Amino acid sequence: MPAQQLVEAWYKSVQEDVTGAGFTGSWQTNHLIIDGHVLHDSPSNTFLKGKQNDVPFITGTTADEGTLFQLFLFLGRNDVGRYKRFAEKAFGKARDKLLQTYNAADNDEAGQSACTIFGSGFFCGARRLARSMSAIQPRTYRYLFSMPPKFFLYQIPGIDNWKELFKCFHAAEIPYVFHFMALPGMEDEDIVLADQIAGYWARFARTGNPNGDGAPLWPGYTQKEENYLVLDNPIITNHGYKNKECDFVEELETAGF
């Protein structure tokens, strides 16, 4: 298909459903990229088939991934109808089963359920990636960042109580990965954690292994142990993050399409 025709088709799809365009498909946004490269399959299918590149791999999430996206879905006002329309788009025929577990009896419950589902998209996506990569690559690592953030990375007008609303929000770990501790509110414990996290990433970039220099051991992910590193104060190892929730979500995704 010529590039211009592709752009026109994409633009038409957005115009037909402006309110839902950001939630087209399951956990995928309606973005179009033309850069001269062609992917023969979706990244999710590539990983499911085990055809991804066999390279060392890190994946992970923050503890409260869904909070920001719940705000974006409802534009600041929880709404049962909008939540149910999202559930229809994301899970298709499995919508009713989803709503039995993540109910929306009123607007507040709709907001909480949406927050949980969006979080599951990240948590369960990380598990799926880690499982697929660990089947072909022993140097696969998973993390959970749960340190309460001291600084809000997003400029959202009218939001003052961000710590209560968003908790350990999406991308909260990024200042620690890049050791950007000049942000307001950062304390000594943040600098100590940033030293460790930046060290993990730097060693991984150099050698494909984040361990070394006296840092707490980050064990490789295995499907048997499903271990992950909790990036917090202190740094610890845990296993099987939200497995029951992710099993349910994957069951819904299979039933819905």
CA end-to-end span of the chain: 26
Residue 24: pLDDT above 80? no
pTM for the predicted model, two decimal places: 0.84
Sign of CA dihedral 33, 35, 36, 40: negative
- Encode pLDDT of 102-129 as tens digits: 999 999 999 999 999 999 999 999 999 9
Domain segments of the chain as ranges: 39-256
Per-residue pLDDT band for 255 (boundaries 50, 70, 90) equals confident
Per-residue pLDDT band for 23 (boundaries 50, 70, 90) equals very low
Residue 139: pLDDT above 90? yes
39-256 fold: Rossmann fold (3.40.50)
Residue 231: pLDDT above 80? yes
- Encode pLDDT of 41-69 as tens digits: 888 889 989 999 999 999 999 999 999 99
Q: Give CA–CA dist 201/10, Å, rounded.
A: 37
Per-residue pLDDT band for 26 (boundaries 50, 70, 90) equals very low
**What are the distances in angstroms from CA 219 to CA 44, 140, 229?**
25, 9, 8
